[in-house]
Amino acid sequence: MEKIMLLFLALVSFAGIAAARGAGHEQDIIPTSSGELKITFFGHASLLFEFNKLAVYVDPVGDTADYSKLPKADLILVTHEHGDHWDPRTISLLGKAGATEIVLTAKAADKLKAGKIMANGQSLTWKDVKIDAVPAYNLVNMRSPGQPFHPRGEGNGYVLTFGDKRVYVAGDTENVPEMKNLKAVDIAFLPMNLPYTMTPEMTADAARTVKPKILYPYHYGDTDTAKLVNLLKDAKEIEVRIRNMK
């Protein structure tokens, strides 16, 4: 029994305490050079990163969690202004008066009338976190060619650096050429639902381009995540983790 318990503890430590539960939501803990990074998966595109006593939310939307029971935000990142990513009521609920930084796109800022605008290619360092805004857009609209759901230059993905770990939250995008410029990504969140983002095949291509050590498909709706796992079964350097991010 003692040997079994020791083996269990070793496996938990190795896996980064993957898929624990917090407030009813799955959580993973990732070790970094500057302490633990805790990721909470709320669903769809809504995430929470907790690092060095900072709470960093990405695209918090009200129907994914009861945010009244969650930590107040030190930083909120918004990838674009669509309603499944941008929710002013939730942003207000999470905000600490005069103490919450909001980073968002120009179109989202125009609606919110607040926040710091970041455009594709811009970078900033906020407290202990480096933030790079990267392109997120559709190459082709599968429903109405010529009228993409996510035009080039309007939406952001974000690369967040926590200690020695670089986390890529792609936003609503396809496997765009600019992904080739992303280097040393440890963790990637890649969307997977046509006609808005990518097919499993496109997501697998994006993963092979970005080469994260850990890949979380997210924003995947009813897309079969098993297809992505199968497409990447020969990519031994990429660990595909499936969490509830419909």
pLDDT of the residue at 145: 61
> Above 60 in pLDDT, residue 144?
no
> Above 80 in pLDDT, residue 9?
no
pLDDT tens for each residue of 75-98:
999 999 998 999 999 999 999 988
64 confidence band (pLDDT: 50, 70, 90): very high
User: What pTM was estimated for this model as a whole?
Assistant: 0.89
> Which range scores top for mean pLDDT: 1-5, 111-115, 209-213?
209-213
3.40.1480.10, 3.40.640.10, 3.60.15.10, 1.20.120.80: which CATH number matches 26-240? 3.60.15.10
pLDDT tens for each residue of 16-29:
434 454 568 999 99
Q: What is the DSSP string of 160-191?
A: EEETTEEEEE--S--S-GGGGG--S-SEEEEE
**Residue spans per domain, the chain:** 26-240
Q: What are phi and psi of 146, to 5 degrees?
A: 95, -15
